[in-house]
A and B are shown apart, each in its own frame.
Chain A
Amino acid sequence: MAEVIEQRPGLSVPARRVPLRPPVAPDEAAARRSLREQVAKLESELGALFCTAFPRTGFDWKVPSRGGPRVLSLVELEELRDELADRLEHNRRVLGDRTYVEELNRCRIEEMMLEPERHRWMVIRNEDIGEPGCKSWHVRPRFGLLGMLLNWWRVRISSGCPLAGGRGRRP
């Protein structure tokens, strides 16, 4: 009973104050070092993705600059890391979608070669399968109008890009 009386409000010893700030300052240098390493890793992965995606176009590789060269604050480093990660993820997704469509186009080329009459006038270019150059597969009628009437179709494969200087003079 005596102990209960002592713990009543107003009778007990005042509680100790807990300091709001931690006694040790946070090590910002370690956090900055870690962020710089993450930036380096992300840059490495972006570089690899860039080389994988080449020669496809339509990707955005830019991450806005921060008025450098200067020492970035911790917040700026975090923002940079996040933007690099977002850019990497976005471009990976775009490349994934693009390669899926390219694979479908490759399958379609095989089908065109096997049954050209079922893919009349269809054209698939090198860029549609993620390859450099100007080659194309074009389903056209054999012998022109006659082929159209008789349902004679074939795949015509172009010979590539035109020469920069033309064919040159005739021998």
Chain B
Amino acid sequence: MAHDLAAEFPELRMLHTLVEARPGRSPDPVRRRLRNLADRYTGGKAVTLRQQPVPWAYRVFFRQVGIDPDEHRTPVEAIALERMRAGGFPSRNLVDDALLIATVETSVPLVAFDDEKLEGPLGLRLSQPDERLGGDGRPLSSRQVVIADAERSVGVLFADLAEGRGVHPSTRRMRLASVQVKGVPDVSVEEALWIVAEVLQGEPGEAPGAAGDAP
């Protein structure tokens, strides 16, 4: 975590872990799990989501960094809204399904990167003047909160990833990252990473140890 960002948000953390898995079509157990999750998701739950502690914490953080959560939804609220619109959680692919399951279960947003396209550890920092996303992508606004590896920014927090840094069909190893904000307990973030790893690896087992910029 960059010093200036940590001074502003002392409880902001990024946790990440490595998972050896290949993207592809979701197997039947994952599809079944999506259906079960969708059945548990009711309209009442979607409406009161913003009063639950973890979704509320992300809404507050969105406000504090200048995002209107009613315009650009927090990940869990976007999923809830899509569930109400689509009437279920249609399966897209293994990685997206795994991230969705973990977010629905824990309300913690997650993102997956292709580990081979990253240099060094992941962290959060503020963008530099005249910096471009991914080094050669679109220009970033001044002091924007970005996810960065040791060399360059690889994504804007809660927004788009730099081109080529996300998971693609030839990915063999993924870096899963999660952002913890004030009010979100450690166990929720760790559980989110654990669930994704479990779904991607196909069977319940020991999740890889989470690394991060925790003190």
Give residues in A with beta carbon < 8 Å to B.
29, 32, 36, 39-40, 43-44, 47-48, 50-51, 54, 61-72, 76-77, 80, 84
Q: Does B170 contact A (CB under 8 A)?
A: no
Given the interface pairs A50-B50, A51-B48, A62-B70, the reply to whether A71 lies near B145 with Cβ below 8 Å is yes
Interface residues of B, CB < 8 Å — how many? 31
Main secondary structure of the interface of B (DSSP, over half): mixed
Q: A-B pairs with CB below 8 Å: how many?
A: 83
Neighbouring B residues of A29 by C-beta, 8 Å:
7
**When the two chains form their complex, are residues A80 and B50 in contact, meaning their CB atoms are under 8 A apart?**
no
**When the two chains form their complex, are residues B63 and A43 in contact, meaning their CB atoms are under 8 A apart?**
yes
Supply 9 A–B pairs (Cβ within 8 Å), ascending by A. Answer: A32-B8, A39-B63, A43-B63, A62-B68, A65-B67, A66-B67, A71-B4, A71-B65, A80-B63
Interface centre among A44, A70, A76, A77 (most CB of B within 10 A): A70
**When the two chains form their complex, are residues B62 and A51 in contact, meaning their CB atoms are under 8 A apart?**
no
Give residues in B with beta carbon < 8 Å to A.
4-5, 7-8, 47-48, 50-51, 56, 59-60, 62-68, 70-72, 126, 141-145, 156-159
Neighbouring B residues of A70 by C-beta, 8 Å:
65-66, 126, 141-145
Neighbouring A residues of B66 by C-beta, 8 Å:
65-70, 72, 76, 80
A66 to B50, CA, bound (A): 21
Neighbouring A residues of B156 by C-beta, 8 Å:
69
Given the interface pairs A65-B72, A68-B62, the reply to whether A44 lies near B56 with Cβ below 8 Å is yes
Interface centre among A47, A51, A62, A76 (most CB of B within 10 A): A47
A47 to B71, CA, bound (A): 15
**When the two chains form their complex, are residues A67 and B72 in contact, meaning their CB atoms are under 8 A apart?**
no
A43 to B158, CA, bound (A): 19
A47 to B58, CA, bound (A): 13
**When the two chains form their complex, are residues B158 and A47 in contact, meaning their CB atoms are under 8 A apart?**
no
Query: How far does the Cβ of B80 sit from chain A's closest Cβ, in whole Å?
Result: 13
A77 to B7, CA, bound (A): 16
A54 to B45, CA, bound (A): 12
Q: Which of A32, A50, A69, A76 contacts B67 (CB 8 A)?
A: A69
A67 to B7, CA, bound (A): 21
